[in-house]
């Protein structure tokens, strides 16, 4: 480990975060180990180091050193460089912040919350996977983790418009709804961008993209770099305020939803001046209002719940509402919904190159789940899950189909798309 | 002053004082921290935080859907020794008399033989918990010295209580004194280690219940 690791910065950050609201979590573990069975990385590998409770150790140690009433007896050792070296992989590579462990913990400890906070302390010390940190830096410096600058955005949107013959408003002066995009979609799944545009146009929604704030993903949030996380929220907020949008729509991306919907206001330091909807929530709203006319599909499909939208996002029901009456051969996995297994690449793990083998191992759980349903295709509402699953599918030469919920719906519109509505 | 006099006099009083002060210290050091207010807009229909917290405290006391074999063992065994300890402390006639002498309140007791049986089951359950902790790779790696201390100071009062009740090995007064000393050790250690979970459980479950219910997450 390099000698420029700032151990005191890590210890200080741990303490500051613990004093925010995590101290009780850090001190309450009874070491029952039940969380291991809830963690895909432990279940897939059998390695006890991946036990979620084990990931509490650095924060618990830092807190104990400072707060334990008997620390003055010398019984609470300091956090060491070796500790940080050992736990970096555990806190970054082998935790997707999926929160399944939080559900099983008899003490109700939000282990995912502790891991997320612990990453901040590691980054403060000068640690963290370089590729994940680079993605966050790219987002700050270029506008997106994949280097999608505003001019690249405009080029890609032009291309998608031509390729899919769909209207995609960019930088309309005023619009009721601001759509954001994940650069994973822009660069790898452009069909998803076209699908969202078709659906919003079909429903006659007054919407736009904005080159002021287009990137929905928040790698600052995932990497524990909260200053970058704040910048990303500020950009979207500036864009929404500029176009007068009352609603910001997050595309098929789980963590982007969590970062803006549930942490955005806290990062910004004030309530968000707009509502935040995931695209599944937006489409469910349109369906309820009778603005989504679909032809049913008979394809046998199952649905993968993105953790940050379902278990930790509270929007589990929306995807089912969309599938209800539309997908006539829909099959739930077991477990599903709030208990669903993670894809293996959430929480920034997808961006960590050295974690690839772990992701592949975790995906074996998913393949087994899908095969038990007998469904031909697993769809999801998160492009990060989709990317993880596509790569894992390739690794295992798996025959199962993968897809996007939004694309599936857009492919079954009953009527030709309308033009995007004009700002009123 | 005999050993028994010392045990149930100043030693127990000191232990109770450490217990009360220690618990108050740790709880206040947590609860008096400035709690960062969540500025996110709660999901429509999310229950008030206090309700969500209370609901989660109660809900997690119920057996949950098992996540696997290890969870199943932990769930069953933990219920056994927690309920066993509760019955021994609160349903054994001499304990009820002792509590009455301290606080002036009392209630009905279970027959002594039932309590002895419960105590034997509790000892077996605690032994199983220790064997599991040592033999299971997951529990072994996450266990620290404190986990073994907590186990030891919990087991000791049950064992010494059984010995005292069965008048084995030594004079009853001596056994009773040792039993009370072991209880004093348990009380004095409780605030400083993981036994504090007896209080923290309400804090952590409540926090998570409020936090996730705000999002509309169904736990």
Q: Minimal CA–CA distance to A108: which of B209, B188, B179, B34?
A: B209
Query: Per the structure block, which two tokens stand in for B168?
Result: 């084995």
* CATH at A250: 1.20.1050
Q: What are phi and psi of B126, to 5 degrees?
A: -65, -35
A379 and A303 in a common domain: yes
A222 and A88 in a common domain: no
Query: Per the structure block, which two tokens stand in for B23?
Result: 């618990």
Contact A314 B218 (CB under 8 A): yes
In A319-338, the residues whose Cβ lies within 8 Å of chain B are 338
Quick check: A17 and A120 in contact, CB under 8 A? yes
Q: Which of A73, A98, A128 is the last residue before a domain boundary?
A: A128
A206 and A311 in a common domain: no
Answer whether A288 touches B (CB < 8 Å): no
> For residue B190, what pLDDT band results from cuts at 50, 70 and 90?
very high
A105 and A31 in a common domain: yes
Q: Thinking of the domain B3-18+47-214, which architecture would CATH place it in?
A: Up-down Bundle (1.20)
**Candidates A32, A38, A312; nearest CB to B74:** A32
A70 and A25 in a common domain: yes
* CATH at A332: 3.40.50
Residue A377 placed within a domain: yes
The pLDDT value given to residue A340: 95
Residue A165 placed within a domain: yes
- CA–CA gap between residue A22 and residue A4 (Å, rounded): 27
Q: What's the CA dihedral at B97, B101, B105, B110 to 10 degrees?
A: -10
- Gap from A335 CA to chain B (nearest CA, Å): 10
- CA–CA gap between residue A40 and residue A338 (Å, rounded): 14
Instruction: Encode pLDDT of B101-133 as tens digits.
Output: 988 999 999 999 999 999 999 999 999 999 999
Domain count, chain A: 3
In B12-31, the residues whose Cβ lies within 8 Å of chain A are 22, 25-26, 29-30
Answer whether A31 touches B (CB < 8 Å): yes
Q: Give, rounded to a whole angstrom, the gap between the first and last alpha carbons of chain B.
A: 56
Task: List CB contacts (< 8 A) between A269 and chain B.
Answer: 39
Contact A108 B22 (CB under 8 A): no
For every one of its 424 residues, what pLDDT tens digit does chain A have, with 9 covering 90 and above? Answer: 455 789 999 999 998 888 877 889 988 999 999 999 999 999 999 999 999 999 999 999 999 888 888 888 888 889 999 999 999 999 999 999 999 999 999 999 999 999 999 999 999 999 999 999 999 999 999 999 999 999 999 999 999 999 999 999 999 999 999 999 999 999 999 999 999 999 999 999 999 999 999 999 999 999 999 999 999 999 999 999 999 999 999 999 999 999 999 999 999 999 999 999 999 999 999 999 999 999 999 999 999 999 999 999 999 999 999 999 999 999 999 999 999 999 999 999 999 999 999 999 999 999 999 999 999 999 999 999 999 999 999 999 999 999 999 999 999 999 765 556 654 4
Residue A416 placed within a domain: no
Report which DSSP code applies to A216.
-
Task: List CB contacts (< 8 A) between B65 and chain A.
Answer: 339
Residue A49 placed within a domain: yes
* CATH at A42: 1.10.1060
CA A189 to chain centre: 16
A241 and A161 in a common domain: yes
Q: Which of A286, A320, A354 is the last residue before a domain boundary?
A: A286
Quick check: B138 and A52 in contact, CB under 8 A? no
Contact B138 A316 (CB under 8 A): no
* Pairs of CB atoms within 8 A across A/B: 159
Residue A423 placed within a domain: no
A301 and A339 in a common domain: yes
Quick check: A303 and A378 in contact, CB under 8 A? yes
The pLDDT value given to residue B36: 77
- CA–CA gap between residue B64 and residue A116 (Å, rounded): 26
The pLDDT value given to residue A424: 42
Residue A420 placed within a domain: no
- CA–CA gap between residue A54 and residue A393 (Å, rounded): 30
C-beta neighbour count of A69 within 10 angstroms: 14
The pLDDT value given to residue A423: 47
- Gap from A269 CA to chain B (nearest CA, Å): 8
CA A263 to chain centre: 12
Answer whether A102 touches B (CB < 8 Å): yes
Residue A37 placed within a domain: yes
Range of A100's domain? 7-128
Q: Minimal CA–CA distance to A42: which of A53, A31, A32?
A: A53
Q: What is the ipTM of this complex?
A: 0.94
* pLDDT, average across residues B139-168: 95
* pLDDT, average across residues B68-94: 91
Answer whether B130 touches A (CB < 8 Å): no
Contact B34 A19 (CB under 8 A): yes
Measured over the CA atoms of residue A148, residue A151, residue A154 and residue A156, the dihedral's sign is negative
Residue A231 placed within a domain: yes
Which residues sit opposite B110 in a β-bridge?
A: B92
A91 and A15 in a common domain: yes
Q: Which of A108, A128, A148 is the last residue before a domain boundary?
A: A128
- Gap from B203 CA to chain A (nearest CA, Å): 7
**Helix A150-164 / helix A190-202 crossing angle, nearest 10 deg:** 70
A344 and A234 in a common domain: no
The pLDDT value given to residue A136: 98
A227 and A313 in a common domain: no
A226 and A160 in a common domain: yes
**Candidates A24, A104, A268; nearest CB to B200:** A24
The pLDDT value given to residue B34: 78
A141 and A216 in a common domain: yes
């Amino acid at each position: 480990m390099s000698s420029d690791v700032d151990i005191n910065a890590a210890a200080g950050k741990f303490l500051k975060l613990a004093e925010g609201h995590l101290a009780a979590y850090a001190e309450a573990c009874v070491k029952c180990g039940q969380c291991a069975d809830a963690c895909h990385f432990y279940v897939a590998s059998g390695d006890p180091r991946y036990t979620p409770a084990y990931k509490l150790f650095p924060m618990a140690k830092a807190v104990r050193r400072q707060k334990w009433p008997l620390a003055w007896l010398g019984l609470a050792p300091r956090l060491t460089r070796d500790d940080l070296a050992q736990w970096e992989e555990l806190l970054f590579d082998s935790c997707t912040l999926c929160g399944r462990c939080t559900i099983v913990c008899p003490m109700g400890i939000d282990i995912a919350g502790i891991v997320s906070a612990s990453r901040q302390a590691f980054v403060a010390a000068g640690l963290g996977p370089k590729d994940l940190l680079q993605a966050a830096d790219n987002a700050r410096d270029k506008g997106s983790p994949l280097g999608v600058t505003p001019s690249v955005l405009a080029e890609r949107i032009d291309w998608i418009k031509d390729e899919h013959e769909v209207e995609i408003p960019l930088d309309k002066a005023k619009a009721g709804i601001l759509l954001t995009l994940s650069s994973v979609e822009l660069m790898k799944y452009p069909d998803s961008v076209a699908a969202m545009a078709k659906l919003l146009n079909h429903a006659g929604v007054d919407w736009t993209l904005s080159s002021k704030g287009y990137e929905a993903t928040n790698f600052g949030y995932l990497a524990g770099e909260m200053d970058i996380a704040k910048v990303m929220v500020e950009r979207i907020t500036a864009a929404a305020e500029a176009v007068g949008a009352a609603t910001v729509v997050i595309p098929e991306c789980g963590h982007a939803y969590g970062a803006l919907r549930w942490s955005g206001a806290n990062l910004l330091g004030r309530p968000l001046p707009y509502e935040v909807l995931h695209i599944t929530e937006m489409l469910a709203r349109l369906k309820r209002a009778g603005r989504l006319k679909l032809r049913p599909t008979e394809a046998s499909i199952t649905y993968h719940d993105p953790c940050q939208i379902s278990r930790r996002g509270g929007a589990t029901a929306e995807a089912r509402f969309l599938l209800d009456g539309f997908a006539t051969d829909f099959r739930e996995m077991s477990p599903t919904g709030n208990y669903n297994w993670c894809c293996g690449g959430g929480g920034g793990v997808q961006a960590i190159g050295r974690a690839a083998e772990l992701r592949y191992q975790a995906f074996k759980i998913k393949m087994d789940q899908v095969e038990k349903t007998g469904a031909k295709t697993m769809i999801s509402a998160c492009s990060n899950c989709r990317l993880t699953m596509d790569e894992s599918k390739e690794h295992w030469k798996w025959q199962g189909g993968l897809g996007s919920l939004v694309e599936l719906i857009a492919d079954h519109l009953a009527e030709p798309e309308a033009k995007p509505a004009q700002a009123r | 002053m005999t050993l028994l006099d010392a045990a149930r006099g100043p030693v127990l009083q000191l232990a109770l004082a450490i217990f009360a002060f220690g618990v108050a210290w740790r709880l206040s050091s947590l609860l008096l921290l400035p709690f960062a207010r969540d500025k996110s807009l709660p999901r429509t229909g999310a229950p008030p935080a206090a309700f969500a917290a209370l609901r989660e405290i109660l809900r997690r006391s119920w057996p949950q859907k098992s996540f696997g074999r290890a969870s199943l063992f932990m769930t069953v065994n933990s219920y056994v020794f927690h309920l066993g300890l509760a019955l021994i402390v609160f349903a054994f006639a001499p304990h009820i008399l002792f509590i009455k002498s301290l606080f002036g309140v009392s209630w009905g007791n279970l027959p002594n033989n039932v309590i002895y049986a419960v105590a034997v089951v509790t000892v077996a359950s605690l032994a199983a918990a220790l064997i599991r902790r040592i033999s299971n790779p997951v529990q072994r790696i996450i266990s620290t010295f404190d986990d073994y201390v907590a186990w030891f100071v919990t087991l000791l009062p049950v064992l010494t209580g059984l010995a005292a009740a069965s008048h084995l090995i030594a004079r009853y007064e001596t056994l009773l004194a040792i039993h009370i000393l072991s209880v004093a050790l348990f009380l004095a250690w409780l605030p400083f280690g993981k036994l504090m979970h007896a209080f923290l459980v309400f804090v952590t479950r409540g926090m998570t219940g409020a936090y996730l219910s705000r999002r509309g997450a169904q736990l």
